[in-house]
Structure 1
Amino acid sequence: MSSFDVVEVALGSAVAQSGTIVIDYPENRYSGSYVGYGHKIYAEGLQRHFTQDGGEISVAFTTSITITYNGATSIPANTAVMVELNRAGDDRADILAGLPGGVTPMLPYLIDLGTPDMLDAGGICEAQSDTGAHDLTINGDLASGGVVVLDVPRNVIADSGGADTAVLTVYGEDVYGQPMAESITLNGSTAVPGKKAFKKITRVAASATISNGAFLGTGDVIGLPVFLPYNTAGLVIGDFENGTFDASLDGTLTAGVQTTPTATTGDVRGTYDPGATLDGATAIQLAVFLADPTYKGVNQYAG
């Protein structure tokens, strides 16, 4: 678990939507003291919390701390606001005892990504055309009853047999059963990979006519079960391929998205594109340092 600091401030003026609250750092704290997620404010007059993870606030750490308020109801002047700032590291006294200021405990973790199957270009939707806005039929090799449950959480790839430019919006769930959606614009016969890791796909909607047979399949970008706040080599130890450690990390890590998710932003926890060819037989594991292995990212965009 991460630890946190609490700062209380009385608003000198009302804060409307997109307005800001600026506070100083607590004593002996600086921008590096805090992680990029999990921050909250509590507005006493409104009797409720506003969270970064829910997209209700955003927080920027520069020479001071700037909180941008995204709520629909203005916070009145003179309201007492409690700001809860999420720090990196564990809040256990036995770990923190004796640590000098600015030192954050981070522990190594091994993330098991399974043995992902090989790519299947039409595994979700086989090539199909139709006029106007319409739903594609989920009828690929991986489909059962109009639904696809993937072997591991992974991205999808959209393609077409010709000059189609419709937007495909994919609906489904993540590995925790949370609804999610992603929009991918077709680029003719050039495959377009998605960024988000789906575990289940329940609907694929096209924004316009498809004339050349659009199809949807699986990609080789694997979703992570926990939030990865970085892709820095020093904090990522390496990966294992069938138990063989590779410190060079020949795959590509993408950190989790912390801005308010949309239909086109990346995965809320982060992804890994292994260097090994996925074949259903190669086990992939990732060794990383994490300050908070319980955090699963901001809420998904569900459409």
Structure 2
Amino acid sequence: TTAMPAAPRDLEGKLAVVTGATAGIGRACAEQLAARGARLALVARSAAKAQAARDEIARATGNDAIELVIADLASQADVRDAARALLASCERIDLLLNNAGVTNLARETTVDGIETTFAVNHLAYFLLTHELLPRLRATPGARIVSVASDAHRFGGAIDFDDLGLENGYGWTKAYGRSKGANILWTGELARRLEGTGVTANCLHPGFVRSSLGANNGGLGRVLVKVAGVFAMSADKAARYVLDVCTSPAWAGTSGAYFYKGRLHEPLAWARDPERAARLWAVSESMTGVAGSAA
């Protein structure tokens, strides 16, 4: 990697936690945050990929204040272990960027017996955020930003009677509903965080050339490659993501959904307060988090 052009070192002294930081948007966000002087804690499943990303980011930016936390976000035990490691090493958390995501052509379940797309794309966001909240609350101006998607427009509203999609699984439905869950949850999280100084927002990054769907075989991989022809670069998408994460313009904004750095309106079901409250309660139950205030 060649050295990046000089970025403003406006994030010196700040610490950002980024999930899914070894490829795609997460990797680009991590590199841009490092270039701006932030300390990083990268949560990744593969130790080898994480180490390679860390070395390349440090070389490109001259910033080697990068910690690695290895965790499979499909496992709730791993999520809890990751949170413990982060709390032990991070005396502050200015930004939690929930970015890791999966999509699976065929229905799969996790070690916890939960449909994998919902487990990684929503429950891991919910649980990791819950576990890190004490440190976020203690950090002035902390922001929680979650990568959702306009894919929530496909596949219909969340069906609480069949969250695991045992009756008619489809990968677009599974992915779309998990991303709708991000939007619903962000709204409820923001409501619960009112008055704490911590904000919670989510965004659609645009369609990005990334490794999402790379684990799908055959047709799924072909579709991802074809779609990639029309996609924006991860670096460009990362700039939009980091606008929500760092811009002073959004310092007081919470509970919002963004697209390309602008406020964006999700479908009605994804901003329904009753559905959001129900999703919160279900998420508590599925993760064993009892009566969380936020």
TM over 0.5: no
More strand, by proportion? 1
Which protein shows a greater Rg?
Answer: 1
More helix, by proportion? 2
> Larger relative contact order (C-alpha < 8 A, sep ≥ 6)?
1
Q: TM-score, length-normalised on structure 1? A: 0.21
Q: TM-score, length-normalised on structure 2? A: 0.22
